[in-house]
Chain A
Amino acid sequence: DGGITQSPKYLFRKEGQNVTLSCEQNLNHDAMYWYRQDPGQGLRLIYYSQIVNDFQKGDIAEGYSVSREKKESFPLTVTSAQKNPTAFYLCASSSDRGEKLFFGSGTQLSVL
């Protein structure tokens, strides 16, 4: 099946710890994105990448880092600098830059 796979579905972070969320796609899409969603709110853009080895900050990049070493993978690291990391994290990809996105099923991150 073609699609976007996010793992894990649930993740817990301790104070001061970095955690990495996985996102893999087999749609052969060039562009990949990370969004954060807080309860009852919209999606806010964290980072995005339109091509391998290149990525841009979104509206709320502080406290996060990404890499894009392979076309199919775009992992997101939530660093200890992110003081309020509890949220639902959504990864997406698109074949057309800045256009129709296909979303994964999300990772719920909580702080212990």
Chain B
Amino acid sequence: GESVGLHLPTLSVQEGDNSIINCAYSNSASDYFIWYKQESGKGPQFIIDIRSNMDKRQGQRVTVLLNKTVKHLSLQIAATQPGDSAVYFCAENRDPMDTGRRALTFGSGTRLQVQP
């Protein structure tokens, strides 16, 4: 899972290594999941998304894995580069007030530090 604030989880990797960032989501009824990257002082940028009818989806250098049994999501980054250094958030679409209208709600983030 993720917990941020003063205790932001940090993953430190060497340039060229593969990175795996994990996320636990809360609602078994969520049917869409997404990963974002955020650099300091900026808005989040889309990385990759996946629907609940899939277990795996690949993009360019990134792969998202979904395990619905344990409500777990992971983001794999291949050949990590210094430009990948940022905070990464997962999000799920859920219905906060049971209105029948879903919105993305976010995990608390993991900081990725890439050592050159």
| A positions within 8 Å CB-CB of B | 33, 35, 38-45, 48, 50, 56-59, 90, 92, 97-106
A–B Cβ pairs within 8 angstroms, 8 of them: A40-B5, A40-B6, A56-B103, A97-B101, A98-B101, A99-B49, A99-B104, A100-B49
**Looking at the complex, which one of A42, A50, A92, A100 makes contact with B2 (CB distance below 8 Å)?**
A42
| B positions within 8 Å CB-CB of A | 2, 4-6, 8, 32, 34, 41-46, 49, 89, 91, 93, 96-97, 99, 101-109
Q: Are B103 and A42 in contact (CB under 8 A)?
A: no
Q: Are B97 and A100 in contact (CB under 8 A)?
A: no
Q: Are B103 and A58 in contact (CB under 8 A)?
A: yes
Q: Are A58 and B96 in contact (CB under 8 A)?
A: yes
Instruction: Please give me the residue from chain A that is nearest to B32 by CB atom.
Output: A99
How close is A1's CB to chain B, nearest CB, in angstroms? Answer: 15
Instruction: Please give me the residue from chain A that is nearest to B108 by CB atom.
Output: A42
- Knowing that A33-B104, A42-B89, A97-B101 touch, tell me 9 more A-B residue pairs with CB under 8 angstroms: A33-B103, A43-B91, A43-B106, A48-B101, A50-B101, A58-B97, A101-B34, A101-B104, A106-B43
Contacts of B93 in A (CB 8 A): 98-99
Docked pose: A106 CA to B42 CA in angstroms: 7
Docked pose: A89 CA to B5 CA in angstroms: 16
Q: Are A42 and B41 in contact (CB under 8 A)?
A: no
Q: Are A98 and B5 in contact (CB under 8 A)?
A: no
Contacts of B6 in A (CB 8 A): 40
Q: Are A98 and B4 in contact (CB under 8 A)?
A: no
Contacts of B103 in A (CB 8 A): 33, 45, 48, 56, 58, 98
Instruction: Please give me the residue from chain B that is nearest to A47 by CB atom.
Output: B103
Contacts of B89 in A (CB 8 A): 42-43
Nearest 8 Cβ contacts at the A-B interface: A98-B102, A103-B43, A42-B108, A98-B93, A43-B106, A42-B106, A41-B4, A48-B103
Contacts of A58 in B (CB 8 A): 96-97, 103, 105
